[in-house]
Structure 1
Amino acid sequence: MIHDPYIVPPLPASWPYEPGRPLRPLGCRVNLELPGLGGGWRVCTPGGQLIEGETFPLEGAFGRGGILRVGDFVMRPYRRGGLLRHLNERTYRTHLRFAAEHAVHRGLWEAGFPTVEPLGYAWRPSGFGVEGVLFTRFAQGEAWPRRWDLSAGRAKDIQHAISSLCTWGLWSPDLNATNILLPPDGGALILDWDRAGFEPGGVDLGPRYRRRLERSLTKLGAPAEALAVIGSAPLP
């Protein structure tokens, strides 16, 4: 059997979250303008909803810049990281990477996992490929590195969410401390599912997530208490 990492598998029997109501199917409109990003976009949103209004930079957001808020919509343009960004910052071969992220993100939201609501994506021709934008629902909160001090309950929420990803077999290679949002009323939301995909059964993802977050926390100069949340000690 061929394994497709972007097909959302059935929930495991031990899934701890209550599944939510399915989202509306996406409707796509062509040659639209996105506020602050110009025209020529193919926009896919629930029911083909238009995105209109004044744009504002999303305050407090980490990332490679250009994240905008329009009403309840957050627009995150796709940007490459690493050394490749110096050669090709925003052009991708096809739109399938954007569609795949939305599919995984949608599956998580409908499963009741603590994340922001996915609202679609858009793309337009750029050079020999396409550039893209991801849409999510705005959620109040601070990124974990903005406030390292966590209550015991909040720390358990983060541990619980990562453990649940391992149980379902979902590997998110871009999971950084900056992608953990702390809402004002408690809990923790996990953001950014670019390149995330479901692994074949039996893969132990716990050590991989621990190493990934350990690198992120160490790079950010996190205190020992933050490393303890993921079961790590400060690196020498």
Structure 2
Amino acid sequence: MIHDPYIVPPLPASWPYQPGRPLRPLGCRVNLELPGLGGGWRVCTPGGQVIDGEAIPLEGAYGRGGILRTGDVVMRPYRRGGLLRHLNERTYRTHLRFAAEHAVHRGLWEAGFPTVEPLGYAWRPIGLGVEGVLFTRLAEGEAWPRRWDLSAERAEVIRRVVTSLCEWGLWSPDLNATNILLPPDDGALVLDWDRAGFVPAGTDLWPRYRRRLERSLRKLGAPAEAVAVIGSAPLP
């Protein structure tokens, strides 16, 4: 059987979250203007919703720059990382990478997983390829690196979030501490599902997530108690 990483598999029996209602299907409009990003975009949003209003930089956002908000919509332009960014920062061969991220993100949201609401994506030709933008709903909170002093309850929430991804078989190679948002009251939301996909059943993802997050935490200068959150054994 051929494994497709972008087909959302059934939820595991141990899934701790309550699934929500399905989102509206995407409708696409062509040659639209995006606030702060110019024109010529093919915009795919629920029901073909138009993104408008005044665009301002998103305060406190981590990432590679250029993240904007207009009203309660966040617009995150796709930017490459690593050494490749020096040669090709924002051009991709096709729009399929953006569509794939939205599909995985949408599956998580509809399954009740703690993440921000996905609102679609947009793309337009640039050079020999395309550039893209992801749309999500604005959520209040601070990135984990700005609040290392977690309560025991909040630390358990973060471990549970990662364990749930492992049990469902979803690998997100960009998951790091800056992509974990801590709302004002409690809980944790996970952001950024670029290149995420479902792995074959039976794959043990916990060691991979632990190494990924521990590397991120140490790079950010996290205290030992923050590293211990993900260094602990997965919850039963």
Same fold (TM over 0.5): yes
Q: Which residue of 1 aligns with 2:13?
A: 13
- The letter of the residue matching 2:113 is F
CA RMSD, Structure 1 to Structure 2 (Å): 0.6
TM-score, scaled to structure 2: 0.98
Q: Which residue of 1 aligns with 2:152?
A: 152
Distance 1:14 1:159 in 2: 15
TM-score, scaled to structure 1: 0.98
How is 1:161-200 mapped onto 2 (pairs within 5 angstroms)? 161-200=161-200
SS at structure 1 position matched to 2:135: strand
- The letter of the residue matching 1:184 is P
- The letter of the residue matching 2:229 is V
- The letter of the residue matching 2:121 is Y
Cα deviation, residue 14, structure 1: 1.1
Cα deviation, residue 4, structure 1: 0.4
Distance 1:183 1:217 in 2: 19
Distance 1:23 1:227 in 2: 35
- 1:124-144 Cα offsets, whole Å, 9 max, x none, are 001000000000000000000
- 1:75-101 Cα offsets, whole Å, 9 max, x none, are 000000000000000000000000000
Matched residue count: 232
Distance 1:27 1:188 in 2: 30
- The letter of the residue matching 2:125 is P
- The letter of the residue matching 1:28 is C
Distance 2:7 2:185 in 1: 33
Distance 2:6 2:126 in 1: 25
Q: Which residue of 1 aligns with 2:111?
A: 111
Cα deviation, residue 147, structure 1: 1.0
Q: Which residue of 1 aligns with 2:97?
A: 97
Cα deviation, residue 116, structure 1: 0.2
Q: In the alignment, does 2:210 pair up with 1:210?
A: yes
- 1:187-209 Cα offsets, whole Å, 9 max, x none, are 00000000000000010000000
Q: Structure 1 stretches of 5 or more lacking a match?
A: none
Q: Which residue of 1 aligns with 2:220?
A: 220
Distance 1:55 1:159 in 2: 35
Q: Which residue of 1 aligns with 2:81?
A: 81
- The letter of the residue matching 2:15 is W
- The letter of the residue matching 1:171 is W
Cα deviation, residue 153, structure 1: 0.6
Distance 1:14 1:155 in 2: 20
- The letter of the residue matching 1:34 is L
Q: Which residue of 2 aligns with 1:50?
A: 50
Cα deviation, residue 185, structure 1: 1.5
Q: In the alignment, does 2:134 pair up with 1:134?
A: yes
Q: Structure 2 stretches of 5 or more lacking a match?
A: none
Cα deviation, residue 180, structure 1: 0.1
- The letter of the residue matching 1:20 is G
Once superposed, which parts of structure 1, at least 4 consecutive aligned residues long, lie more than 2 Å away? none
Note if contact 2:214-2:231 (Cα within 8 Å) is conserved in structure 1: no
Q: Which residue of 1 aligns with 2:63?
A: 63
- The letter of the residue matching 2:13 is A
SS at structure 1 position matched to 2:166: helix
SS at structure 2 position matched to 1:84: helix
Distance 2:31 2:7 in 1: 29
Q: In the alignment, does 2:33 pair up with 1:30?
A: no
Cα deviation, residue 38, structure 1: 0.1
- 1:4-62 Cα offsets, whole Å, 9 max, x none, are 00111111111110000100000000000000000000000000000110111000000
Distance 2:14 2:188 in 1: 20
SS at structure 2 position matched to 1:230: helix
Distance 2:54 2:107 in 1: 30
Distance 1:72 1:2 in 2: 40
SS at structure 1 position matched to 2:215: helix
- Percent identity of paired positions between Structure 1 and Structure 2: 88
Distance 1:72 1:59 in 2: 13
Cα deviation, residue 231, structure 1: 1.6
